[in-house]
Structure 1
Amino acid sequence: MKALVYNGPHDVSVENVPDARIEQPGDALIRITTTNICGSDLHMYEGRTAVEQGKILGHENMGIVEEVGPGVTRIKAGDRVSVPFNIACGSCRNCMGGWTAFCTRVNPTEGVDGAAYGYANMGPYDGGQAELLRVPYADFNLLHLPAGEEHENDFTMLSDIFPTGWHGTELAGMRAGDTVAVFGAGPVGLLAAHSAMIRGASQVFVVDKAPDRLALAESVGATPVDFSAADPVEQILDATHGRGVDCGVEAVGYQAHDPSGQEHPELVLDNLVKAVRTTGGIGVVGVYVPEDPQAADEGAKHGRVGFDYGTFFTKGQHMGTGQCPVLRYNRGLRDLITAGRAKPSFLVSHELGLDEAPDAYRHFDKRDDGWTKVLLHPGRAA
């Protein structure tokens, strides 16, 4: 089969590799119809992780079930499915509690609970930027979708970024009527804003500096805040008569940078502490890592990010963090899509064949204008 593999920093290529196959009785084999390039993939692409050479990338996947193992009873060949990026056993303590992002059984990497497809330190699982994908614990993990091709570009967001954006608002403790600040207008930040609007936010501010992304935020009813034009905290405080927002979402992560491009891993956390009112909540779904040898300062190289905890404590704020347990949300979000209440495909900028993926990575990594969300269709010719 064809698959996109990691060769080294800024170097990915489409290669012929051995076909994915059924390996355990509970496996399913998926023929991929759509797989997405995620902003998290860029951490690996840029050489900021320990991902191994030859890894097949891709954790945002959907497709048609080609084959199932003898232990699979709920899923059958021919089903159209969404594949959550979390790989979960379904029966450990965390899975039973609904925290499938932190399954304790599926990742042999020491010190890491939780696994994912095609990602550094998240287990020995190949990704889905390929023609075929093996899915372990298929009965537990896979989400049924309506047959056919309707809503393909919406449903492909169910594997990660739509649930992750929604999870950011949950972690922040958002309630109907709240004002919300989302820092980062990448795909997750845009879908956090979309989620907040669906959930009844009275106003959503989206902070970024890319004009195309801010325009997308405005298209779903959010208020764009250009942090390259003026201090984003001051802009938000001015717009809220000095009160600040009720809650905020961090959708940037450890590579946060100022308008000049200089990295400050604490920058967004500090801004949210200032912009969120006393007793308000902050949801952090931007990625932070315990080791980053290329970090801007010595502490951050070892996962120590020195944000303004003193003010955070003094203001009585609360913070939720961590990867999204997709299964907690994806069924409800699927139904919002089919009912016409949610349309996460608004952020799609490019639909390409798998052979075009290396060039797409280059454009997406450079944040070239208009390259907001790239969908790859392995069955489509370049």
Structure 2
Amino acid sequence: MRAVVYRGPREVTVEQVPDPEIQQPTDAIVRITTTNICGSDLHMYEGRTNVEDGKILGHENMGIVEEVGSAVGRIKAGDRVSVPFNIGCGACVNCESGWTSYCLRTNPVEGMDGAAYGYASMGPYDGGQAEFLRVPYADFNLLELPPGDEHENDFTMLSDIFPTGWHGTELAGQRPGDTVAVFGAGPVGLMAAHSAMLRGAAEVLVVDKEPDRLALAGKIGARPVDFAKGDPAQQIMDATGGRGADCGVEAVGYQAHDPAGEEHPELVLDKLVESVRSTGGIGVVGVYLPQDPGAVTEQAQQGRIPFEYGTFFSKGQHMGTGQCPVKRYNRHLRDLIIAGRATPSFLVSHELGLDQAAEGYERFDNRENGWTKVLLRP
């Protein structure tokens, strides 16, 4: 089959690789119909992780089941499915308590709980930027979708970014009527804004410096806050009469940049502490790593991100962090899509063939105007 393979910093190629096979009775093979390039894939693409040469990339996947193992009973060949990026066993204490993002059994990497497809340090699993994908524990992991091709561009967001955006608002403790500040108008930040409005926010303020992304935030009913025009925390304080947002979502991560392009890994955390009111919540779904050899400071290279913790403490704020447990949310979000309430496909800017993956990565990584969310069709 054809697959997108990592070959070094800013180098991905489409290569012929062996087809996946059933390895365990609980496996399924899915023929991929849509797979996405995720913003977190760019950390690997840029050489800012320890992803190995030859890794098949892709953790945002959906498609049609081609084959199932002998122990698979719920899922059958021909089913249209969404594949959560988390690989959960379904039986460990974390999976049983709803934290499939921290499965204790699926990742053999020492010191790392939780597994995923095609991602650095998340286990030996191939990704789905390919024609086919092996899915372990298929009965537990796969989400069934209505047959046909309706809502394809909406449903493809269910594997990661829509649940992750929702998770950010959940970690922040958002309640109906809250004013929500979202830092980052990339795909996850825009999904957090969409989620906040679905959850009954009175107002959503979205911070970024890219005009096309800010315009998209405005189109879905959020208030754009242009980082390039001044301190975003002060803009949020001014917009809320000096009170601050009730809660906030960090959707940027460890490669945060100021308007001049200088990297400051603590930048967004500091600005959220400043712009969220006392006792408010902060949900962090932007990626941070235990080590980042490419970071701009020695502390950050060791995964130590100093931020305004004293102010955070004195304001009595609370913070939730970590990768999204997709299965906790994806059924409900699927049904919101079917009902016409949620339309995450507003993000989609480009739909490319798999053979165009290298171009998609390069242009998305360059933050070219209008390259918001790239879908690949194998």
- The TM-score with structure 1 as length reference comes to 0.99
Q: 1:360 aligns to what?
A: 360
**Where does the alignment leave 5 or more consecutive residues of structure 1 unmatched?**
none
Q: 2:102 aligns to what?
A: 102
Q: 1:171 aligns to what?
A: 171
Q: 1:133 aligns to what?
A: 133
Q: Equivalents in 2 of 1:75, 1:205: separation in Å?
A: 41
Q: 2:41 aligns to what?
A: 41
Query: What amino acid sits opposite 1:233 in the alignment?
Result: A
Aligned to 1:139, the other structure's residue is in SS state helix
Aligned to 2:229, the other structure's residue is in SS state coil
Q: Equivalents in 2 of 1:234, 1:308: separation in Å?
A: 16
Question: What are the Cα deviations for residues 225-273 of structure 1, in whole angstroms up to 9, with x where unaligned?
Answer: 0001111011100000000000000000000010011110000000000
Q: Percent identity?
A: 77
Q: 1:54 aligns to what?
A: 54
Q: 1:297 aligns to what?
A: 297
Shift of 1:21: 1.2
Q: Equivalents in 2 of 1:189, 1:148: separation in Å?
A: 29
Q: 1:32 aligns to what?
A: 32
Aligned to 1:213, the other structure's residue is in SS state helix
Q: 1:74 aligns to what?
A: 74
Aligned to 2:90, the other structure's residue is in SS state coil
Query: What amino acid sits opposite 1:89 in the alignment?
Result: C
Q: 1:160 aligns to what?
A: 160
Question: What are the Cα deviations for residues 2-25 of structure 1, in whole angstroms up to 9, with x where unaligned?
Answer: 000000000000000000111110
Q: 1:274 aligns to what?
A: 274
Are residues 1:259 and 2:259 paired? yes
Q: 1:18 aligns to what?
A: 18
Q: 1:147 aligns to what?
A: 147
Q: Equivalents in 1 of 2:191, 2:115: separation in Å?
A: 23
**Where does the alignment leave 5 or more consecutive residues of structure 2 unmatched?**
none
Question: How many residue pairs were aligned?
Answer: 378
Question: What are the Cα deviations for residues 312-336 of structure 1, in whole angstroms up to 9, with x where unaligned?
Answer: 0000000000000000000000000
Q: Equivalents in 1 of 2:229, 2:147: separation in Å?
A: 47
**Large movers: runs of 4+ above 4 Å:** none
Query: What amino acid sits opposite 1:325 in the alignment?
Result: P
Q: Equivalents in 2 of 1:50, 1:273: separation in Å?
A: 30
Aligned to 1:76, the other structure's residue is in SS state coil
- The TM-score with structure 2 as length reference comes to 1.00
Q: 2:121 aligns to what?
A: 121
Shift of 1:296: 1.1
Aligned to 1:283, the other structure's residue is in SS state strand
Shift of 1:274: 0.3
Q: 1:245 aligns to what?
A: 245
Q: 1:226 aligns to what?
A: 226
Aligned to 2:235, the other structure's residue is in SS state helix
Q: 2:5 aligns to what?
A: 5
Question: What are the Cα deviations for residues 34-81 of structure 1, in whole angstroms up to 9, with x where unaligned?
Answer: 000000000000000000000000000000000000010000000000
Shift of 1:368: 0.3
Aligned to 2:52, the other structure's residue is in SS state coil
Question: What are the Cα deviations for residues 168-226 of structure 1, in whole angstroms up to 9, with x where unaligned?
Answer: 00000000000000000000000000000011000000000111101111111100000
Aligned to 1:104, the other structure's residue is in SS state coil
Q: Equivalents in 1 of 2:362, 2:56: separation in Å?
A: 17
Q: 2:337 aligns to what?
A: 337
Question: What are the Cα deviations for residues 298-325 of structure 1, in whole angstroms up to 9, with x where unaligned?
Answer: 1110110000000000000000000000
Query: What amino acid sits opposite 1:46 in the alignment?
Result: E
Q: 2:87 aligns to what?
A: 87
Query: What amino acid sits opposite 1:88 in the alignment?
Result: G
Q: Equivalents in 2 of 1:234, 1:99: separation in Å?
A: 36
Aligned to 1:228, the other structure's residue is in SS state helix
Q: 1:112 aligns to what?
A: 112
Q: Equivalents in 1 of 2:371, 2:360: separation in Å?
A: 8
